[in-house]
């Protein structure tokens, strides 16, 4: 299951980590009226984080498809 790495990164089941600016993620979370929105990283194998009603719901992987986000994990890159 994909995880949210504090404060603004997401790790896919395939191991890919998408890093975003904290303000960008806060803006996505603040938009609680948008039924669904995607935030894409700029990596070669582009992953997207799907937000549903302001909550990160899934990481969309080009290889694995939709991977639900289940909880938080430690950010080992810091």
In a domain, 78, yes or no: no
What contacts 8, CB < 8 A, 6 or more positions away? 19, 20, 21, 22, 24, 25
In a domain, 64, yes or no: yes
1-54 pLDDT, tens per residue?
899 998 999 999 999 999 999 999 999 999 888 889 999 998 888 999 999 999
Residue 77: which pLDDT band, with cuts at 50, 70 and 90? very low
In a domain, 49, yes or no: yes
Cα(77)–Cα(54) distance, integer angstroms? 26
Q: Note down the domain range covering 62.
A: 2-73
pTM: 0.85
Residue 78: which pLDDT band, with cuts at 50, 70 and 90? very low
Element (H, E) at 58: strand 55-61
Cα(1)–Cα(23) distance, integer angstroms? 25
Cα(20)–Cα(35) distance, integer angstroms? 21
In a domain, 25, yes or no: yes
Total domain count for the chain?
1
């Amino acid at each position: 299951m994909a995880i949210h790495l504090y404060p603004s990164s997401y790790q896919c089941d395939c191991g890919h980590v998408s890093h975003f600016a904290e303000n960008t993620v806060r803006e996505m979370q603040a938009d609680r009226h948008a039924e669904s929105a995607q935030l894409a990283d700029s990596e070669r194998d582009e992953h997207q984080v799907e937000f549903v009603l302001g909550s990160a719901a899934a990481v969309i992987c080009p290889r694995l498809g939709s991977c639900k986000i289940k909880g938080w994990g430690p950010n080992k890159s810091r």
